[in-house]
Structure 1
């Protein structure tokens, strides 16, 4: 009986500490993602928080294909906006995340296997599997951090009207499926193109890509074009039941 009381007391104390630390919440600052799994936080704090992928996905904050279809249907359809006034500098990145780390290094650590960082938080070794083309890379310098919804695409679909803080959160979002380590070749092939104009070379990645793109656009209230919506529908329809 005495041992049971001690164990129960320890559990209650641990629960109180977690509640005080705010570990029961989830979602980002611009709408959140209530239907996604609530991954645990780790690593340096970031705009929008930091999260780990769950359930076999390589990105955090993912929703199911069914939820993504519902969100896609709710997105406003509009023609692309003008690029007038656009500059990557208006989307502050990569933001400092503490412990000498910036957003790029946090994502490389999250997405890699056996990643070792030096005293400046730079990845000096590890292994990365690039979702877009299926390539395996062991040199961090050959990896880019892709914005699933590119900054320029965000600008054309609503971010031109945002303030600096929201653009910074969008460019450094570690909670929603907006940042991913991929090969430099795949990232530069994509550029700022939407899914109707560019699809990952490996079709096996289309389900995750479509869910991620839709989740980010929904979270930030961005618009889609008719052609973009059609391709996203095709990607989501290819997800396993």
Structure 2
């Protein structure tokens, strides 16, 4: 897939330009907010919300495109977790002007967001598309990797270079990063769509389209159960 290698090369070039600009990357894998070992949270249903539109999430394909991409994905059992570490997916990377990937997504996904001198969101309004809950405190939000890092590792990322894993963990071009409630993100953990779906069923169509797009872009495999569930979720999309 030459076109995919092309976008990745261009993305790395952009990262290099930012680095030359003198910005220090914020790549602290030990930060609690970005741990795959997400703590358990109490069950909370909340009111459905989020809608079936893509909102601020970039690069979401149509349902038809997603079905075609899903049909081309390699189907294989999960690989081993041997050697996995979040440190092998450095994040959150600098995006310039003292901002990192997390703060960039918070600004993109919120409304009336104001930042302090260190680019931290100090006010704003966010709606978590996973569960329809509204927040005005950025500390109540996590930045979710649509395809979790551990899931990516088990479906092909274990063979990647560190540089490519960093690009994956900080991808702002494809539908890989979004701001959601900490509770929903930690409930999801590193589970695939066959094990966890957003509580708000109206978001299932967008979720499946985004998941398939990321896996297709990065040539990651899917399990049989994962593919079956994604097919069902795509079935919730409007005709």
Q: TM-score, normalised by structure 1?
A: 0.78
CA shift for structure 1 position 221: 0.1
Alignment: residue pair count: 196
Displaced runs of 4+ in structure 1, greater than 2 A? Answer: none
Match of 2:98 among 87, 97, 100: 100
Give 5+ residue unaligned stretches, structure 1: 1-26, 33-43, 47-54
**2:54 maps to 1:57:** yes
Residue 159 of structure 2 corresponds to residue 157 of structure 1: no
**Aligned mates of 1:83, 1:151 — CA distance in 2:** 11
**C-alpha distance 202-212 of structure 1, shift in aligned 2 (>3 A):** same
Q: Deviations over 1:12-50 (max 9, x none)?
A: xxxxxxxxxxxxxxx831799xxxxxxxxxxx969xxxx
Aligned-partner Cα distance in 2 for 1:100–1:73: 41
Aligned alpha-carbon RMSD (Å)? 1.9
What is the alpha-carbon distance in structure 2 between the residues aligned to residue 103 and residue 110 of structure 1? 10
Q: Give secondary structure in 1 for the equivalent of 2:8.
A: coil
Aligned to 2:130: 132
1:37-74 Cα offsets, whole Å, 9 max, x none, are xxxxxxx969xxxxxxxx94121011000000000000
- 1:207 correspondence with 2:186: no
Q: Within the alignment, does 1:29 sit opposite 2:13 as a pair? A: no
SS in 1 for 2:82: coil
Q: Structure 1 pair 121/87, CA: closer, same or farther in 2 (3 Å)?
A: same
CA distance in 1, matches of 2:79, 2:54: 32
Q: Does 1:82 align with 2:80?
A: yes
Q: What is the 5 A alignment of 1:159-178?
A: 159-178=157-176
Q: Which runs of 5+ in 2 are unaligned?
A: 1-5, 12-16, 20-51
Larger Rg: 1
The answer on whether the counterparts of 2:53 and 2:206 sit within 8 Å (CA) in structure 1 is no
- Among candidates 142, 145, 158, match of residue 144 of structure 1: 142
